[in-house]
Every structure is written in structure tokens, then in C-alpha cells.
Structure 1
Amino acid sequence: MDQPATSPERGSPRKRRVTAETMAEAGIALTLPRVTVKSVAQSLGVSIVAIYNNIEDLCALKALVAEEILRRWSPPLPADDESMHDALLTLASAMRELVHSNPGIAEYLIGLTPSSIDAIRMADVVQTRYRVRYDLTPKQATWAVITVVEHALALAEIVYNDARRDREYDDAIAARTDLDTLPGAYDTIDRGPDGMFVWSMRTVVVGTLALVQAPDFEQA
């Protein structure tokens, strides 16, 4: 009688087929800051060599993961009855949510290269919608969207995040008698990180609109 096939050793990771899709899925689960060739290989239960057989290097692996994150994300586009001011604020808030939901994506977005095929295509779709909806020139649409997106990425990544202690020290600063201006700038309204982000982005949006609508913008 034939002997039964030897069962796999218990506890060993189940090997998965190595494809762009499975590597991207593993990378998303890990999050971009934790993506390495070794970590993805371990997640898939394969060797490091198996990963390198399908990807050029770590940068390419991270780009693969980031591009898949962006393919699954739908940026908000201006509605037919929406002002450009409101549409840009909505876009800024969506970028902040994207950054906070996907650690590491901000770093990828600020360093796009010609090989970032899907990310650049998505950016073009957004800018084209702004150009058509608000009767802008290509330069106006591109500068408006990029300016707002870059500031939203920076604020979301560095300033208005979970580590920010918004009002923890406000009362103590407001009570100082050796300061002339700062105490008077603190109010009693607790806007929270979300409110402060929108407040800051309103400044960016208003300034951006004034700039791109200036008569000499195309010559700048």
C-alpha cells in the first residue's frame, strides 16, 4: 500500500504564489514603513530570493505597494454645483485621511517619478476635472491642485496627527504675564485636530485661489 504523503510541518507558514498582487497585498497589510524584502517574504511564506525574482529592489517593492494603495483610493472630484474653494478643502481633507490611513504614503506622493504611472495618471484626472469644471488653464489647474495637496500632505504628516497635543498647554501659555502677544491669541474654542487642519487649509486655499486668478499668473 502506498504511504500517505507527508503532511507539512505544523506551524510553518503557508506558501503563497509570488505575484505583484500578492506582494502588494502583503505590503499593504504591513504598511509602507515596515515593508522590506524580508518582511514581505515572511508574510508570503517564501524565500527572499523568490521576492527578488519578481521585483528589482526595495524601492520598486515599496512603489508597487504604494501604487496599489492609490489604485484602491478614489480622490474626491469637484461636483457640478461646488465652488472651487469648497472642492479644494474637500480634497485636502481626503488627502489627510489617506495619509493617516496609510502610513508612509505621504513620503511616496511627494517624491513621484515618471515610473509612478498610476499615481501620475490619477493626478492628471483630478487636475483635468478642475480645469474643465472651473474653466482654468492647465497651469492654473495644476498649480491649484498641487499646492493644496502638498500642504495637506505636510500638515497631515507632521502637524495635525495623533501625536499632536492641541490644547494641552494653552491655558498655561495664556496665563503667562511675561508675554505680550501670544496670550491674547489663545481663545476658548477647542477646534481639535480636524478643525485646526481645515482652518489652516482654508488659508492655503484662499491664497492659492488669489494667486492662480491673478491677471499675471500665466507669466509668473
Structure 2
Amino acid sequence: MTTKAVGAGRARGRPRLVTRKVIIEAGIALTLDEVTIQGVAEILGVSRVAVYRHVPSQDALRLLVAEGILERWSPPETAEESVEGFLLALAVSLRKLVSDHPGIAGYLSRLQLGSRVSMARFEQTHVRLVDLGLEPWEASWMASTVAQQAIGVTAVFGSEESRVQREEVLATAAAEFSVFPIKHVHARELGDDAVFRWTMRGLVRGCLAQLADDDPRPVSDRPAG
């Protein structure tokens, strides 16, 4: 989305009051991948100096916008009172978050340790799993594992560019190979949503089963005996 398109409808007259909230709104409209101090200033119809009064640098601007996005996101509400159901809903919710906000995946994956917003959101998901019956360490391992995979898969394979590339590779592979392309043909027929859910469900079930007989904690943190 261009800054001209976003700001075209602004009326002339009194300069707009610049606040962190309106900066976040402008940044979300531009997306994290494209947001700049200049772009935000153009959308708001103000000078760059007016934006710099609230964010001292480009990196600070991106972090502010990322936090604004995360403040609007919360762990999914699901009627299915099960660990598997919640984790699958979490994966789907994170997929939508990453798809709707290009660039947010990097902030989620790096887990900005200076950001209380991101840490608070992740803590909410972990506590929800404890409420559903997991031990705190199990909740931490499961939520982190599912989140990392959901975010990573969506960031790498969820873009339109990625889909176009897969189609091109599939067209070539189908003419030369007999086994390798099968999954990709099925995936195209099922749709990305169904394939993502199938993949995440398998991950959740596998990790839950593994917790039962393969404790990932350091030996010093495991119960005696």
C-alpha cells in the first residue's frame, strides 16, 4: 500500500495531532516490511520531525508498530477444552497474525527481550496450557515449539511469491518424477489451510506423545528417581 493511497483522503487544514497511537496505525497500514519515518509522516500529513518526537529511530519505529500489533492479538478462545485443541487454535491464530502483518514474524521469532508486550502475550498462552492440565515446564515447551513452527512455516511458505514458486517447481517435477510431487499435488487440491492444520496437528500429537517418555529438561531439573 502506498503512502499516497493511505493519506489521500486526509483533509487539508489544521495539522493532525501526532501520538504513538496514530503512528502505530500508520505503521500497520504500511506494514512492518515497508514502514519508514518518512512514510508515516506522509500518511499523517506531518513533518518527519513530528514523528521523531515519539520514535528516535527507524528501529524504534518498527518495534513500536510491532508492539502495537501484538497488543491487539490475544491467545485464542476455543470451546474445545483440550491441550491439543488449544495448541491447534494457537497455531492457526499465529498463522493469521503473520499473514496479516508482513514482517511481524521476525519480531515473534527473535522474541524481543526488551518488549514486555511480546513476553506478556506468550506468558498468557503458557498459563492457559497450565490451566488445561500441563505442568508449567510442559506448557512452556509445547507452546514455544508450536509457535516457532507455525510462525516459521507461515513466514517461509505463506506468501504469494512462495506459492507461485511452488507451482513452477511442481510443474517441472510432475513431468519428471513420480513420487516426490504427490504431496504437493494433494496439497494444491486440499488448500493451504487444510495442509497447515494437518501439519500442526501432527506436530502437536507427536510432541505430546514424546513428552511422556522423553523428558527434554536438563537432568538437574528432573525429579529424583
TM-score range normalised by the length of the shorter chain: 0.7 to 0.9
- Which residue does 1:112 correspond to in 2? 111
Give the length in aligned residue pairs.
206
Cα displacement (A) at 1:74: 2.6
Q: Does 1:159 align with 2:157?
A: yes
Cα displacement (A) at 1:144: 0.4
- Which residue does 2:130 correspond to in 1? 131
- Which residue does 1:36 correspond to in 2? 36
Check conservation: 1:160, 1:197, Cα contact below 8 A: no
Could you tell me which amino acid in structure 2 is paired with residue 151 of structure 1? Q
- Which residue does 1:54 correspond to in 2? 54
Return 5+ residue gaps in structure 2 as ranges.
1-10, 220-225
Q: CA RMSD in A?
A: 2.6
Q: TM-score, normalised by structure 1?
A: 0.81
Q: Does 1:201 align with 2:185?
A: no
- Alpha-carbon spacing, 1:191–1:49, altered in 2? closer, same or farther (3 Å): same
Cα displacement (A) at 1:188: 5.3
Higher helix share: 2
Cα displacement (A) at 1:115: 2.0
- Alpha-carbon spacing, 1:168–1:49, altered in 2? closer, same or farther (3 Å): closer
Check conservation: 1:175, 1:183, Cα contact below 8 A: no
- Alpha-carbon spacing, 1:171–1:43, altered in 2? closer, same or farther (3 Å): closer
Check conservation: 2:105, 2:151, Cα contact below 8 A: yes
What aligned pairs does 1:144-183 form with structure 2 within 5 A after superposition? 144-163=142-161, 164-165=163-164, 170=170, 173-174=173-174, 176=176, 179=177, 181-182=179-180
C-alpha distance in 2 between matches for 1:42 and 1:55: 15
- Which residue does 1:95 correspond to in 2? 94
- Which residue does 1:84 correspond to in 2? 83
Return 5+ residue gaps in structure 1 as ranges.
1-10
Provide, for residues 89-109 of structure 1, a one-character-per-residue CA deviation record: whole Å limited to 9, x for no partner.
111111111111111111111
Could you tell me which amino acid in structure 2 is paired with residue 148 of structure 1? V
Task: Find the structure with the greater CA-based Rg.
Answer: 1
Could you tell me which amino acid in structure 1 is paired with residue 147 of structure 2? V
